[in-house]
Chains A and B, each alone.
Chain A
Amino acid sequence: MNSLLIVTLWVLNILVDSGGHFAFKLAAVEPAADATTLEHWRHMLGRPWLWLGIFCFVGEFVLWLAFLSLVPLAQGVLLGMMSIVVVMIGGRIVFKEHFTRPRIVGMLLIVAGVAIVGVA
């Protein structure tokens, strides 16, 4: 029961963390490039993405506290590194960002490391 709760909280943490980053990125890239800073911010504040991002990070604050109640700090932080990989895969899908060789190697190392820390 406890380990199921830990895995659930871990997945939720990764989801809201990467979700928040995507929402901020979507908010940032949406307006026309030639807009002034003020117009840019006004546009972002009137659209849902920025608020979704803020909602995600507020949620993560509580979810992270819950997660750390159940796992040791060092392991928790190591497992949290998985969101780097999720953000990169999402970046590839949503924003057509490139996978260079160092990026692929880095992602594989992180996935392997997180898997070992989680299982061992």
Chain B
Amino acid sequence: MSLKKFYLLGFVVLIAFDTFSQVCFKMAATHADPFMIDMAWVLRVLGEVWVYGAIVGYIGAFLTWMTLLRHAPVGPAFAASHLEVVGVMIISVPLFGESLSAWQMFGAALVVAGVICLAVGETSAPHVHP
């Protein structure tokens, strides 16, 4: 497999794991409704099987992240580790019937641009440790 394909696959897998975790979190939260600030709610939500799906997703993301970091530059890897937001925005429309207003889409675009900007900065900045 070429290096480029390896990166691309790695980033896609990382985003997929993170997105999966977030979907599981939302599923667990929805199933444990109504939310109350009490122990009963904590026990109810921790009894949801979805919570453990979220943990599996985190472990998968962690292993993918460590594999990627051995080869990929930290900048793009950093971006990939935060771009699950794109996966979440796409999947939450059919799955949870969510919708973002035009303004919120604009805000989301700014956040994504910011993350990419940080990633590019990490790639080009000299790593100085005073």
Contacts and interface: CB of A to CB of B under 8 A. Distances in A.
Interface of A: 62, 64-66, 68-70, 72-78, 81, 84, 88, 96, 98, 100-103, 105-118, 120
Task: Indicate the member of A65, A96, A116 with the most B CB atoms within 10 Å.
Answer: A65
Please give me the 4 A-B residue pairs with the lowest Cβ-Cβ distance, nearest first: A102-B121, A116-B107, A113-B110, A109-B114
A77 B110 CA distance: 14
26 contacts: A62-B45, A64-B25, A65-B32, A66-B29, A66-B35, A68-B26, A68-B29, A69-B35, A70-B35, A72-B92, A73-B25, A74-B85, A74-B89, A74-B92, A74-B98, A78-B89, A102-B117, A102-B118, A102-B124, A102-B125, A106-B117, A107-B114, A110-B115, A110-B118, A113-B110, A117-B108
A113 B125 contact: no
Contacts, number: 134
